[in-house]
Amino acid sequence: MRIKYLGTAAAEGFPAMFCNCVHCKQAREDLGRQMRTRSQAMIDDDLLIDFPPESYLHAMHGGLDFSAVRTLLVTHSHTDHFYAQELCNRGYRFATQMTEKTMDVYGNAEVLAVFEEGTKREIRPAVSEGLRLHVVRPFDDFVAGECRVLALPARHSVKEDALLFCIQKHGKTVLWLNDTGPLPEEIYPFLAKKGICADFVSFDCTFADDEEPSSQRHMSIFQNSAEREKMVRFGLVKANTKYYVTHFSHNSAPFRDRMDALAGRYGFFAAYDGCEVDI
Ligand SMILES: [Zn+2]
Ligand SMILES: [Zn+2]
Ligand SMILES: [Zn+2]
């Protein structure tokens, strides 16, 4: 499996569009290296996790064929993870000779509601036909393309069942864990019972090294470390499992070198826009 991080920032992006804090100002001096766009990842060229407003840019920068995507897994309905309007361009006269005729979109009930709201003015019937939407609930176990997917509950929103994903393909397992605060306890015995042993874990690290996170809806690297210890205790990981951190806030000063050093100190890798990992 090849995992490509297309975007690695929290909701506001880095630098944030409307922000003149010292970090954002400094990042604007070196956008080529420091810019982080909103969260999205691609697995093996045919599966996307999340669909932020930068999806267009991600496809262009990576030279990617998004029409080849068969599966879109949406973690939750926040705009930095799901910009439904863009899907109106998938077909009709806006996209011809697409690699895949249909794309399956999996998300919670709120994601489907946002899809309806966001596309109702512009979507053409021919485009609708190519999008199959599926409601997913925490602890669902389903097949999407060549992958087996387990949906896990996130600690992120009281308004919707935000989801995390365990994705398995060709004997490899990925745990995708943003957006969330410390993981709900039920996840551990559930994954253990399913016999999950992850090769790759991607953590929400919005707060980086902030000792006193301002909410329980995201995590710091210290909380990531505590979750990793629990994973070891429950036998959900192995000696060579790779651990990445992502979804950084501008408040955390997520400069590339700083995050590399911080992550490295605690045995993680810091994701950046465009970074690729083979497992
Ligand atoms: Zn987010
Ligand atoms: Zn800022
Ligand atoms: Zn969110």
Residue 178 CA to ligand 1 centre (angstroms):
7
CA 31 to ligand 2 centroid distance, Å: 14
What per-residue confidence (pLDDT) applies to 185? Answer: 97
Distance CA 275, CA 169 (A): 20
pLDDT at 67: 98
Find the 16 Cα to ligand 1 centroid distance in Å. 13
Check: CB of residue 245 under 8 Å from CB of residue 268: yes
Residue 268 to residue 246: CA distance in whole angstroms: 10
- What does the pLDDT read at residue 215? 93
Query: Which one of the ligands is nearest to 248 CA?
Result: 1
Output the pLDDT for position 7.
98
Q: What is the pLDDT of residue 26?
A: 98
- Tokens 């005729």 locate to 101
The pLDDT value given to residue 139: 98
pLDDT of residue 227: 98
Q: Is 30 exposed, middle or buried (0-12, 13-18, 19+ CB in 10 A)?
A: exposed
pLDDT of residue 91: 98
Say how many Å lie between the CA of residue 198 and the centre of ligand 2.
Answer: 34
The answer to whether the beta carbons of residues 7 and 81 sit under 8 Å apart is no
> Which residue range forms the structural domain that includes residue 14?
2-278
Would you state the pLDDT for residue 202? 98
Cβ-based neighbours of 180, under 8 Å, separated by 6 or more: 154, 155, 156, 162, 164, 204, 217, 218, 219
Residue 152 pairs in a beta bridge with 164
Q: Which residue has the tokens 């997520």?
A: 254
Compute the distance from residue 17 Cα to the ligand 3 centre, in Å. 18
**What is the distance, to the nearest Å, from the Cα of residue 151 to the centroid of all Cα atoms in its chain?**
13
pLDDT at residue 6, rounded to an integer:
98
The alpha carbon of 7 and the centre of ligand 3 are apart by a number of angstroms equal to 14
pLDDT (tens place) for every residue of the chain, 279 residues total: 999 999 999 999 999 999 999 999 999 999 999 999 999 999 999 999 999 999 999 999 999 999 999 999 999 999 999 999 999 999 999 999 999 999 999 999 999 999 999 999 999 999 999 999 999 999 999 999 999 999 999 999 999 999 999 999 999 999 999 999 999 999 999 999 999 999 999 999 999 999 999 899 999 999 999 999 999 999 999 999 999 999 999 999 999 999 999 999 999 999 999 999 999
Q: What pLDDT is recorded for position 232?
A: 98
How many Å lie between the centroid of ligand 3 and the Cα of residue 179? 5
Phi/psi at 33 (5° precision): -100, -35
Centre of ligand 3 to C-alpha 128, Å, is 26
Distance from Cα 92 to the centre of ligand 3, integer Å? 31
Q: Report strand pairing: 276-278 vs 2-7.
A: antiparallel
Do strands 131-135 and 237-246 pair parallel, antiparallel, or not at all (unpaired)? unpaired
Q: Identify the nearest ligand to the CA of 22 by its number.
A: 2
Q: How far is the CA of 174 from the centre of ligand 2 (A)?
A: 31
Mind spelling out the 3-state secondary structure of 146-197? CEEEEEEECCCCCCCCCEEEEEEECCEEEEEECCCCCCCCCHHHHHHHCCCC
According to DSSP, residue 79 is labeled T
- Give the total number of structural domains in the chain: 1
Residues 6 or more apart in contact with residue 100 via CB below 8 angstroms: 46, 67, 68, 69, 70
pLDDT digit string, tens, across residues 96-151:
999 999 999 999 999 999 999 999 999 999 999 999 999 999 999 999 999 999 99
* 8 Å CB contact between 39 and 245: no
- pLDDT value at position 155? 98
Residue 42 CB burial class (10 angstroms; 0-12, 13-18, ≥19): buried
For residue 219, the CA-to-ligand 2 centroid distance in Å is 19
Question: 156 CA to middle of ligand 3, Å?
Answer: 7
* CATH number for the domain that contains residue 11: 3.60.15.10
Distance (Å, whole) CA 202 – CA 198: 10
Q: Within 10 A of 186 (CB to CB), how many other CB atoms are there?
A: 12
